[in-house]
Amino acid sequence: MGNRAALLLLVLLLCYGVTTAIGFVKEETEEKGTEREERREGEDRFLLHDTKHVVKTDAGDMRVVRSFGWRMIERPMHIGFITMEPKTLFIPHYLDSSLIIFIRRGEAKIGLIYKDELGERRLKSGDIYHIPAGSAFYLVNTGEGQRLHIICSIDQSESLRLGAFQSFFIGGGTYPTSVLSGFEPETLSTAFNVTIDEFKEIMTRQKDGPIVYLDDSRAPRSSIWTNFLQMKEQDRLQRLKRLIEFQQEPMEEEEETTWSWRKLLNSVFKTGKSPDSYNIYKKSPDFRNYYGSSIALDDSDYDPLKHAGLGVYLVNLTAGSMMAPHVNPTATEYGVVLRGTGTIQIVYPNGTQAMKVKVAEGDVFWVPRYFPFCQIASRTGPFEFFGFTTSARKNRPQFLAGASSVLRTLKGPELAAAYGMSNESLNHLLEAQRESVILPSASAAPPDMAKKKVDRVQKAMRSYDSDMIID
Ligand SMILES: *[C@@H]1O[C@H](CO)[C@@H](O)[C@H](O)[C@H]1NC(C)=O
Ligand SMILES: *[C@@H]1O[C@H](CO)[C@@H](O)[C@H](O)[C@H]1NC(C)=O
Ligand SMILES: *[C@@H]1O[C@H](CO)[C@@H](O)[C@H](O)[C@H]1NC(C)=O
Ligand SMILES: *[C@@H]1O[C@H](CO)[C@@H](O)[C@H](O)[C@H]1NC(C)=O
């Protein structure tokens, strides 16, 4: 039985039947509605709190922070956190959403099917990797005695819109439920040319969940996965290919749903291009000064971002520093705090404060396109955050303060008139800050320095008053 069952289960792995596709994350939209409404009035409306465990097993978990129901989001995206214990496997499945994964800590091997081929890549801390919607993949924690931490964007542009996102487990039994469970046993028995009993046995074997130990002693049932991973790459590819062919045979009963999935799958295969990873830590910062650094990846750095339509960034502020107030004119931004604590301030286009909130490691925030905002590191240590922007093109933030600000660029009699200031007062105000992009913040400066600055601004504002009187 051993070998044959293993093979069969592998076949099941990728076989498709959408009827019982696992609806990971649908539900709750209604009940949570009122709560969300309240939160919208609150102070932290641009923090994403709506967290849900979509996978939780002894071997690991996946948590999704959702950005549902916000009318202002032009392109809703969720942020996922995957944690895997050493020697574990996230079993093969595919999603109706595309992912960009970031290896936060640890090492991984990812197997991904693209263009009829199984590509396996080793990934390490800092690596960015794109998983297109509909591409079956698996993940293995290859770190020696090391937990694997992954942060990913979950982009729903191609999704079936059945919920936050939809996961299709190819293998499975009672947990996760295989997508095959929805077929008549007779249908499967015929399709696979095995007896109904054989099939039933297989469909109830897997109980360990989507993330399993590869180590036999800990979880005997997952030995099947160990076998799978011990096969030669070529054999694994053959298996997976056969499965894909099976999936593409018409299945009348599920015509409508399979259609959309197949279409999705085909589109992925057509555009498939040998994927590679990109290590964000290897890129030299786009901006760096004494107060911090920032790195942005766009499609010119990493081609798969073009297909994903997303950008990736990483910012590191030293204690007490501030990312100058700025606006993203072309993208909504999602951020995850990686280290330290800080404050995020966001302003409505009409000039009223939208949010000012303290954030700490693991918090997820988002900033709508066009909204001015800034991030300030607390004085206790560096503040690191990482995230995604909804544009793969170069995102050119427009700074509202600092030496490279648009105000500095606009400096002149017109701007002076717009503020009702004299040329001189305006110059005084705009030239005072010598740093750009990342600034030392007032809260970090010694109290007397901070006071001097306040005095200077007040003086500028007073001269603005007297100008008005003269006029
Ligand atoms: C089904 O399996 C039997 C042996 O178990 C084999 O003789 C037969 O050819 C198979 N049929 C198909 C269609 O593969
Ligand atoms: C961020 O900056 C701190 C020092 O301020 C440094 O220790 C840390 O390694 C930096 N992190 C990254 C990811 O560059
Ligand atoms: C500014 O816009 C926000 C969001 O649209 C609104 O809640 C707030 O009342 C507005 N403030 C003023 C002063 O118009
Ligand atoms: C500001 O400078 C412009 C020329 O640069 C000049 O024409 C204008 O009179 C000045 N305005 C004031 C209030 O000094």
How confident is the model over 33-39, as a mean pLDDT? 41
Cβ–Cβ under 8 Å, residues 324 and 430: no
461 CA → ligand 2 middle, Å: 38
Question: Is 352 a pocket residue for ligand 3 (Cβ < 6 Å)?
Answer: yes
Average pLDDT score, the chain? 75
How confident is the model over 82-90, as a mean pLDDT? 93
The answer to whether position 148 is within a domain reads yes
User: Of 238, 268, 298, which residue sits at a domain end?
Assistant: 268
**pLDDT tens digits, 300-310:** 999 899 988 89
464 CA → ligand 4 middle, Å: 14
The answer to whether position 463 is within a domain reads yes
Residues 347 and 460 grouped into a single domain? no
The answer to whether position 31 is within a domain reads no
Best residue among 410, 422, 423, 430 to mutate for probing ligand 4, ranked by most atoms within 8 Å of CB: 423
Residues 426 and 331 grouped into a single domain? no
Q: What are phi and psi of 62, to 5 degrees?
A: -135, 130
For the record, the structure tokens of 102 come out as: 């970031």
Residues 59 and 94 grouped into a single domain? yes
Atom 11 of ligand 4, residue of closest alpha carbon = 423
Residues 331 and 433 grouped into a single domain? no
pLDDT of 127 > 70? The answer is yes
User: Of 268, 297, 317, which residue sits at a domain end?
Assistant: 268
**pLDDT tens digits, 160-169:** 665 556 677 7
pLDDT of 158 > 80? The answer is no
Cβ–Cβ under 8 Å, residues 295 and 283: yes
Q: Is the peptide bond before 304 cis (omega within 30 degrees of 0)?
A: no
Of the ranges 242-246, 337-341, 352-356, 389-393, the best mean pLDDT one: 337-341
How many structural domains comprise the chain? 3
pTM: 0.74
For residue 217, what is the domain's CATH number? Answer: 2.60.120.10
Residues 365 and 432 grouped into a single domain? no
Residues 394 and 415 grouped into a single domain? no
Q: Which of 317, 314, 313 is nearest to 290 (CA)?
A: 317
Atom 13 of ligand 4, residue of closest alpha carbon = 422
The answer to whether position 29 is within a domain reads no
Residues 376 and 246 grouped into a single domain? no
Q: What is the pLDDT of residue 144?
A: 86
Query: What separation in angstroms does the CA of 342 have from each of 48, 90, 101, 292, 332?
Result: 16, 33, 24, 14, 20
Q: Which of 391, 427, 334, 12 is nearest to 205 (CA)?
A: 12
Cβ–Cβ under 8 Å, residues 109 and 142: yes
Residues with CB under 6 A from ligand 4: 413, 422-423
Question: Is 97 a pocket residue for ligand 2 (Cβ < 6 Å)?
Answer: no
Q: Indicate the SS3 state at residue 47.
A: strand
Q: Which of 438, 430, 429 is nearest to 456 (CA)?
A: 429
The answer to whether position 393 is within a domain reads yes
Domain that holds residue 453: 403-471
Complete DSSP assignment for 64-88: EE---S-TT-SS-EEEEEEEE-TTE
pLDDT of 260 > 50? The answer is no
The answer to whether position 28 is within a domain reads no
Higher pLDDT among residues 9 and 68, named by residue: 68
Query: What separation in angstroms does the CA of 240 have from each of 93, 202, 417, 464?
Result: 11, 18, 68, 72
Residues 414 and 372 grouped into a single domain? no
Residues 149 and 227 grouped into a single domain? yes
How buried is 382 (Cβ within 10 angstroms: 0-12 exposed, 13-18 middle, 19+ buried)? Answer: middle
The answer to whether position 6 is within a domain reads no
Strand-pair partners of 383? 317
Cβ–Cβ under 8 Å, residues 63 and 99: no
Residues 156 and 68 grouped into a single domain? yes
Rounded Cα distance between 230 and 448, Å, is 66
Angle between helical axes of 2-14 and 185-192 (0-180°, round to 10): 110
Residues 192 and 239 grouped into a single domain? yes
Query: What separation in angstroms does the CA of 145 have from each of 87, 148, 271, 293?
Result: 8, 10, 37, 32
Token pair 């302003």 is at which residue?
Answer: 347
Q: Please give the number of the atom of ligand 3 that sits closest to the Cα of 351.
A: 1
Token pair 């009829």 is at which residue?
Answer: 116
Residues 124 and 136 grouped into a single domain? yes
User: Of 382, 400, 418, which residue sits at a domain end?
Assistant: 400
350 CA → ligand 3 middle, Å: 6
